[in-house]
Amino acid sequence: MLFMFLLLSLFIQAQKRSISGYISDDHTGEALINATIINVKTNQGVLSNNYGFFSITTTSSDSLILNCSYVGYQPYRVGIKAQGDTIIFAKLKKGVTIEEVVVSSNYGSNYLSIPVTGIVEMEAALVEKLPTLLGEADLARMLQLMPGIQSGKEGTGGLYVRGGTNDQNLILLDGMPIYNANHIGGFISIFNPSSINYLKMYKAGFPARYGGRLSSILEVRMKDGNMNEMKRGYSIGTISGNFYFEGPIKKDTSSFIIAGRRTLFDLFTSAFNYLDTNGESNGGYSLWDLNAKYNKKLNGTSRVFLSYYSGRDKFFGSSNDTGTMDGETFKSSFSHRNSWGNTMASLRLNKLYSSKTFANYTVGFTNYLNKTVTKNKIKSDKNFSGEGYTKNQSAITTLVLSADIESVANNFHSFNMGVQSNLNIFSPSSNKSTTSLNEEILYDSLWGAEAIVLPEVSLYFSDQIQLTPKISFDLGLRWVNYFIEKELFPVIEPRITANYNINKLTALKFSYSRMSQFVHLVSTSDQAESSDFWFPSTSDISPEMSNQITLGGFWQFKGRNDFQLSCDLYYKTFDNLIELRDGASFIGSAINWEQQLIRGGKGYAIGGEFLLEKKRGRTTGWLAYTISKNMRKFTEINKNDWYPFRYDRRHELSLVVTHDFNKRINLSANWVYMSGEAVTLPQYKYLINVQQLDGVLFDTYSQAHFYNGKNKFRTPAYHRLDFSFNIKKEFSNRIRTWSIGLYNAYNSANPYYVYFSKDKQGAVKLYSYTLLPIMPSISYSVKF
């Protein structure tokens, strides 16, 4: 079928004239993603793809002019002579960047005439201006300031999109899925801004080429590396330090980039702890990331990319002790280590078969590993020894092979088609325990779930149709095939988006998406130590499904093109949801992991999102507001009645303002408000268990709690104000930047969790624990 579509598109192409090419940064050679290319004569426009490629057709054989533009860059005009198909390479120069901020949300002006809904886009440069937590610039945290995207717990980098959970986001780093995108339990994302070029999130209107998750697609692109000159830089902040090094291997032909990041505080705390205890104990927490990328232009029509990422968190502790008993001296030692992280590598080939047909081929792998090891040793001076060893491990590995083709047929049709094949290998829980005495093994056991292999093959096709100058559609279909326990589970996923231009400043948009998810997560990653367990659908665990309808509008203010307003109204349903049973754990448990799950849940989310942006001038920013309702229903929970999801927050409001005093100094602030989250608390308690012994009554004051439903209680509302002040200074081809930040400026006591406790008079009261009070930060960076 795919081959037939390709032949058909190639046949139609032969009837039209096509101008295609690549849009890139004149200085670095980086591809400019979603640049606008317009035929000045017909006002027909297209956007460049993830590799800077575009193709535009015309029926005219006359000369024409193309206008290429990108936010923060000077417009580029090129004249095309009256001839056949043409390929151009447009290199745009940066303009006066103080006049623009590189953020586009929901649609942006580029999307006025294109059938898309629920899109958020950001360039990594934006994160350098906005307030941070402890001086750590974080792209994922910036997304939380957009409508419809919640953070979950205080200070964490979780992404809860339109009623979904954190595992219902497909996170792609240079096309490879990432299974854990956070460090330190979610306080920092794995995306080092020094190595990231661009990110885009789909909350609705998912293109047919994406699948496998219910709630969002987050596409993150690493920098390709400067094609023209060597560049390097480093920064030191409150938590970590990072560096990057990039440049050409052969100018304008091949380049590379290497970027790394590591925590610094653990080096000092660990050393201090070791010295303070005379080497008897040690402990700490550390994280690191390493990004690397190489790319080369093979010729005018082909280019190859090799990407790599690896990152780890590590929580560790150890102690040594010496004691005597009955004249015998004992020496004991204890060590504990919990480490988790991702490793990813991909090889991609871009091929331009003609001025109308672009292809990308990808092969790669990604792995997530969570491992905990505990060791105990004891030895005496009288030849007595004992040793204990425990290891708990969970892992998932995915091998990826895909081919994606973009083909422009004429002014009215452009096709996307492809095939994707994933081989998922799960090890939800693997446990080992050993005990020995005087070097004799007393206990040696290995238990847990066997490795599960889940093959997956997907075909997709979409047709973007320009029906009239004002009406356009994107009609797509994704056919997913999962092989579960040697049985085939096919799923058909239709995708529809539509756009109606009322006038040059106003557009209405609509989308429908059906999504399926065959991989699932149970997690306690909001704690200090991570325990993420990925597992597949089986013959007993059905895949999760969602259906979402979105109706949107976009308005650009007349005479004030620096202001724009967008809104989305959405309704989303969930089926076959999964929850972990209360008290259940995959760590060290001998119980089958499938028996620890509650399945067959339902849910729905309904809401409205509103975004007002000011995109140009010295003062820029946005105001985002979301009103929503997010409900769940399980047969075994809450007596099969509907209840609010944990992160069901009725109201969310974000105000972000950035002001550039000049090219050297800028000030930014953001204020966030969220309704309280839903939690389960007892309504009242009572005493039970009166016992009788030898005819005498004894009251045992065991307490029992009465719960009147799940998630009936609301914590207090969350709100905070953050500031960031940045000063840049250039000297000797170097740019130095001091960044001073203030998180939670008015010290709002936002609840991290709530609990019952007695006051000084013995009365039981409800208290809240605040995790992050007012927190200043400072960081210093140098680029040269």
Please write the tens of the pLDDT for every residue from 30-40.
888 878 887 77
Name, in order, each residue with C-beta under 8 angstroms of 134's C-beta and a sequence gap of 6 or more: 237, 238, 239, 743, 775, 777
Is 175 a residue whose pLDDT tops 50?
A: yes
Residue 441: both structure tokens together: 């093994």
Query: Could you tell me what percent of the chain has a pLDDT over 90?
Result: 31
Q: Tens digits of per-residue pLDDT, 686-708?
A: 666 555 555 555 555 566 677 77
β-bridge partners, 481: 457, 490
pLDDT of 215 strictly over 70: yes
Query: Once rounded to an integer, what is the mean pLDDT over residues 226-238?
Result: 89
In angstroms, what is the C-alpha Rg of the chain? Answer: 28
Those residues whose C-beta lies under 8 Å from the C-beta of residue 771, and which sit 6 or more positions away, are 154, 155, 750, 752
CA 436 to chain centre: 44
Averaged pLDDT for residues 730-748:
88
- Highest mean predicted confidence (pLDDT) among 123-132, 578-587, 623-632: 623-632
Q: Please, which pLDDT band fits residue 343 given cuts at 50, 70 and 90?
A: very high
Tens of pLDDT along 476-508?
Answer: 999 999 888 788 889 999 999 998 988 878 889
525 band by pLDDT with thresholds 50, 70 and 90: very low
Q: Which alpha helices (DSSP H) does 54-174 contain, by range?
A: 139-143
142-153, pLDDT tens digit by residue?
Answer: 888 899 998 877
pLDDT of 51 over the 90 cut: no
Q: How confident is the model at residue 700, as a pLDDT?
A: 54
The enclosing H or E element of 7 equals: helix 2-13
**Residue 21, CA atoms < 13 Å, CB-side half-sphere:** 19
pTM: 0.87
Q: Which of the pair, 745 or 583, is modelled with greater confidence?
A: 745
Instruction: Please state, in angstroms and rounded to a whole number, the distance separating the CA atoms of residues 492 and 261.
Output: 42
* 274 Rama sector, left if φ>0, alpha if ψ -120 to 50, beta otherwise: alpha
pLDDT at 107: 37
Residue 11: is it exposed, middle or buried by C-beta count within 10 angstroms (0-12/13-18/19+)?
A: exposed
pLDDT of residue 202: 93
Cα–Cα distance, 318 to 482 (Å, whole number):
45
Is the model's pLDDT at 89 over the cut of 60?
Answer: yes
Contacts of 761 (CB under 8 A, 6+ apart): none
Residue type, 551: L
Upper half-sphere CA count for residue 247 (Cβ side, 13 Å): 8
In the predicted model, what is the mean pLDDT of residues 743-756? 86
**Amino acid 518: pLDDT:** 92
Q: Report the pLDDT value the prediction gives residue 693, as an integer from 0 to 100.
A: 53
Residue 105 has pLDDT above 50, yes or no: no
Q: Which helix (H) or strand (E) holds 3?
A: helix 2-13
Across the range 614-619, mean pLDDT stands at: 83
Which among 534, 577, 520, 538 has a CA at the least distance from the CA of 454? 538
Average pLDDT of every residue of the chain: 83
3-state secondary structure of 2: helix
Place of tokens 């550039």: 660
Kindly list the distances between the CA atom of residue 501 and the CA atoms of 47, 67, 111, 242, 559, in Å, as whole numbers in the listed order.
17, 21, 11, 46, 18
Q: Residue 14, SS3? A: coil
Distance CA 519, CA 124 (A): 30
- Report yes or no: 311 and 291 within 8 Å, Cβ to Cβ: no
pLDDT tens digits for 530-560?
567 788 888 888 899 999 999 999 888 876 6
Which position has the higher pLDDT, 134 or 742?
742
Query: Which positions ≥6 away from 3 have C-beta within 8 Å?
Result: none
Say what the pLDDT of residue 113 is. 57
**Can you give the pLDDT at residue 583?**
66
End-to-end CA distance of the chain: 52
How many residues can be counted in the chain?
A: 784
DSSP assignments along 654-710, one per residue: EEEEEEESSSSEEEEEEEEEEPPPEE---SEEEEEEEEEETTEEEEEEEEEEE--ST
- The residue ranking higher by pLDDT, 213 or 691, is 213
Query: Please, what's the b/e burial string for 431-448 (b: 16 or more CB within 10 A of its CB; e: otherwise)?
Result: bbbbebeeeeeeeeeeeb
The one-character DSSP state at 167 is G
pLDDT of residue 222: 92
Q: Is the confidence at residue 366, as pLDDT, over 90?
A: yes
- Which tops the pLDDT comparison, 144 or 525? 144
Q: Residue-wise over 362-377: b if at least 16 C-beta within 10 A, else e?
A: bbbebbbbbebbbbeb
Q: Give, in order, the Cα–Cα distances in Å from 238 to each of 134, 137, 272, 280.
A: 6, 11, 18, 28
pLDDT above 60 (res 332): yes
Backbone torsion region of residue 486, taken as left when φ is above 0, otherwise alpha when ψ lies between -120 and 50, otherwise beta: left
Pick the range with the lowest mean pLDDT from 108-117, 237-246, 356-365, 512-521.
108-117
CA distance 563 to 75: 20
Distance from the Cα of residue 661 to its chain's centroid: 32
Whole-angstrom distance, CA of residue 345 vs CA of residue 318: 34
Q: Looking at the predicted structure, is the pLDDT value of residue 474 above 60?
A: yes
Q: Report which of 513, 484, 416, 475 is spatially closest to residue 202, judged by C-alpha positions.
A: 513
pLDDT at 60: 61
pLDDT band with cut points at 50, 70 and 90 for residue 458 = very high
Q: Is residue 108 pLDDT above 90, yes or no?
A: no
User: Quick one: pLDDT at residue 259?
Assistant: 94
Residue written as token pair 């016992």: 691
Confidence of residue 646 (pLDDT cuts 50, 70, 90): confident
* Cα(603)–Cα(636) distance, integer angstroms: 14
Per-residue pLDDT, 74: 82
CA distance 350 to 346: 13
Counts of helices then strands in the chain (DSSP H, E): 3, 49
The answer, yes or no, to whether residue 2 has pLDDT greater than 90, is no
Report the distance separating Cα 594 and Cα 541, nearest Å: 8
- Contacts of residue 438, Cβ cutoff 8 Å, sequence gap at least 6: 383, 384, 385, 386
